[in-house]
């Protein structure tokens, strides 16, 4: 008797465990009856296909044979569909998805079973280990208390709770952020907190010996007076950024007026129609494009006071400032700028009242500009002003005959130019370094007593840093700029020494103010304390007359103590000097009196 198709679908394929052993079911009678009916079914029926087992490639269960990846043959007729199992009626994609699903289910069951058994074995072994440790440590207590399995479970629960608390604490307080847990402090190295802006150590070893006057730079600049700040702008040193800071980022009583679309700003003194800043963004290129030291020192006084009578010109102080940069980076940046079409043809190069001739200063290129110039051609030009530009722009060119190279030998000329640039740089009111933006801001604020609104930003990625050069080209650039290399080393040493000197001076001033404040507060406290005691004694004068036989002496002692606590160190030094002078006068008087007495006694003896 053949079963209907709905019964076959309800029963499903029979499970065939390993070794073809008969599968056990919850109902043995029903299972034997179904097997008998399937055995009696004719060969071509659907029940016979069910009796044949699952189709090829379908898993038989957990202990089934390995799956075959051979594709199933689809039947093309109804007879083939009737002979094939019901699973073969599905599409090939659905059958493959069912194969993958069953395979994953079998692997997932296996993994879960292994994990469960492993955790059980681990817990069992951990329990035995902990019980052994507990019996070793608390053996007497266990023998007295007759410890049983419940105590072991309690101990295991406590240990697990402790481990869980440690894990939670690690997540809550990772690393060295938590004060209670510093597990990583011993393994990870502690970074150096004294790091400079150029990723070098801040504790440098000075190479040059400077005096206190060279390190202490504090200009008494009165913006309401007649003094003038002159900015010497060297090409490709970050001077444009610093110049914008001067006109847009300083806290002033009367800020500079900068209008949209205009390159120059109006920086007038409070209550006057006169500028206090001579720079590109305030007065423009009044002395020529990127004027150097030689041009500015002769041009600025004439431009500022040229329209006034010589007798009415005020006695001004011209405070020169500038920015320097690493010579190799500056050189590469200028080369990239020239590649884009920059020429600086508007530069006058006036020296000793005249510009240089074409024979004294030949051009490196023919045409309107030098755009597209390769680096090798840029370095091969012997008349390129980019070579040692910072030394040339900071030195007094009149000492070497301006641009006439035949005045003195080249070696002597280079020595004079370098010494002049060092001297002018040291006596400037202020200079900064492009590689130290924050320190540059700090020294400017301390020098001129002027504060910036927003802090400076250090940009370590520039156009020059994007240029990849090998060691040979870098050595050649350093050779072409050997004077700038020495000047920059000198300037960096002086700059960092000034910064450290100013920081130490600031810390000393803050410490002195704190000490004076403590002394003042202590004096006030003692004064109020003694005043309260004096008022109490004044209200009850007849209680203890013998305890205070001399109240005036106590009051004088209290006043002297309060004065010593509230006085500043300078006042104390003045009082000590006065006491010493008085003591010397008294000693002189005593010695004179003693001499007279001695002479009188000698006369009496005679």
Handedness of CA 370, 375, 380, 383 (dihedral sign): positive
Q: What are 21's two structure tokens? A: 């052993």
d(CA 248, CA 243): 9
Instruction: Kindly list the strands in the beta sheet with 318-324, ordered across the sheet, starting from the edge strand earlier in the chain.
Output: 277-278, 228-232, 318-324, 430-433
d(CA 390, CA 392): 5
Q: Contact, 329 vs 372, CB < 8 A?
A: no
Q: Which ranges of 24-91 does DSSP label H, i.e. alpha helix?
A: 28-40, 46-51, 78-83
Question: Could you identify the residue written with the tokens 């604020």?
Answer: 445
Question: What Rg do the C-alpha atoms of the chain give, in angstroms?
Answer: 48
- Other CB atoms within 10 A of residue 300 CB: 20
What b/e sequence results for 447-464 when a residue is b if at least 16 CB atoms lie within 10 Å of its CB, and e otherwise?
Answer: bbebebeeebeeeeebeb
Is 290 an active-site residue? yes
Dihedral of CA atoms 345, 351, 353, 357 in degrees, nearest 10, equals -60
Question: Could you identify the residue written with the tokens 């001129």?
Answer: 448
Q: Contact, 326 vs 435, CB < 8 A?
A: yes
Q: Which residues pair with 277 in a beta bridge?
A: 229
Q: What are 374's two structure tokens? A: 């390769």
Which one is catalytic: 60, 63, 124, 290? Answer: 290
Catalytic residues: 290
């Amino acid at each position: 008797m053949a079963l209907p198709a709905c019964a076959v679908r309800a029963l499903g394929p029979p499970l065939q465990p390993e070794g073809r052993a008969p599968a056990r079911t919850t109902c043995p009678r029903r299972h034997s009856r179904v097997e008998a009916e399937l055995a009696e079914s004719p060969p071509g029926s659907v029940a016979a296909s069910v009796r044949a087992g699952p189709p090829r490639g379908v898993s038989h269960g957990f202990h089934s044979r390995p799956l075959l990846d051979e594709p199933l043959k689809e039947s093309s007729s109804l007879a083939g569909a009737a002979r094939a199992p019901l699973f073969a009626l599905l599409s090939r994609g659905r059958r493959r998805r069912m194969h993958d699903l069953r395979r994953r289910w079998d692997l997932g069951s296996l993994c879960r079973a292994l994990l469960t058994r492993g955790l059980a074995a681990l817990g069992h072994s951990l329990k035995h280990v902990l019980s052994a440790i507990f019996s070793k440590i608390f053996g007497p207590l266990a023998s007295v208390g007759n410890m049983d399995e419940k105590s072991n479970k309690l101990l295991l629960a406590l240990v697990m709770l402790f481990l869980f608390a440690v894990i939670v604490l690690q997540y809550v307080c990772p690393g060295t952020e938590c004060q209670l847990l510093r597990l990583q402090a011993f393994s990870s190295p502690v970074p150096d907190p004294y790091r400079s802006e150029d990723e070098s150590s801040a504790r440098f070893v000075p190479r040059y010996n400077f005096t206190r006057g060279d390190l202490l730079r504090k200009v008494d600049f009165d913006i309401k007076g007649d003094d003038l700040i002159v900015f010497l702008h060297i090409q490709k040193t970050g001077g444009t950024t610093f110049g914008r800071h001067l006109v847009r980022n300083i806290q002033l009583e009367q800020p500079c007026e900068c209008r949209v679309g205009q390159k120059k700003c109006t920086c007038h003194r409070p209550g006057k129609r006169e500028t206090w800043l001579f720079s590109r963004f305030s007065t423009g290129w009044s002395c020529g494009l990127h004027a150097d030291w030689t041009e500015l020192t002769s041009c600025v006084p004439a431009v500022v006071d040229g329209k006034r009578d010589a007798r009415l010109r005020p006695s001004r102080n011209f405070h020169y400032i500038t920015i320097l940069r690493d010579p190799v980076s500056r050189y590469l940046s200028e080369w990239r700028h020239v590649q884009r079409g920059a020429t600086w043809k508007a530069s006058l190069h006036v020296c000793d009242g005249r510009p240089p001739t074409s024979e004294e200063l030949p051009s490196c290129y023919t045409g309107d500009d030098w755009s597209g110039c390769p680096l090798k051609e840029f370095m091969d030009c012997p008349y390129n002003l980019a070579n040692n530009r910072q030394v040339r722009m900071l030195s007094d060119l009149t000492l070497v005959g301006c641009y006439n190279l035949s005045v003195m030998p080249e070696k002597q000329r280079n020595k004079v130019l370098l010494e002049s640039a060092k001297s002018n740089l040291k006596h400037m009111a202020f200079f900064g370094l492009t590689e130290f933006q924050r320190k540059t801001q700090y020294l400017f604020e301390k020098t001129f007593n002027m504060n910036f609104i927003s802090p400076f930003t250090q940009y370590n990625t520039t156009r020059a840093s994007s240029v990849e050069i090998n060691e040979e080209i870098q050595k050649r650039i350093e050779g072409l700029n050997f004077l700038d290399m020495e000047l920059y080393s000198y300037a960096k040493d002086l700059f960092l020494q000034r910064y450290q000197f100013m920081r130490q001076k600031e810390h000393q001033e803050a410490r002195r103010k704190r000490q004076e404040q403590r002394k003042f507060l202590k004096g006030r406290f003692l004064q109020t304390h003694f005043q309260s005691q004096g008022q109490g004694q004044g209200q009850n004068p007849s209680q203890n007359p013998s305890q205070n036989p001399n109240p005036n002496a106590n009051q004088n002692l209290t006043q002297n103590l309060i004065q010593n606590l509230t006085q500043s160190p300078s006042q104390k030094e003045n009082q000590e000097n006065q006491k010493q002078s008085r003591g010397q006068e008294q000693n002189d008087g005593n010695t004179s009196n003693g001499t007279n007495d001695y002479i009188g006694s000698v006369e009496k003896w005679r």
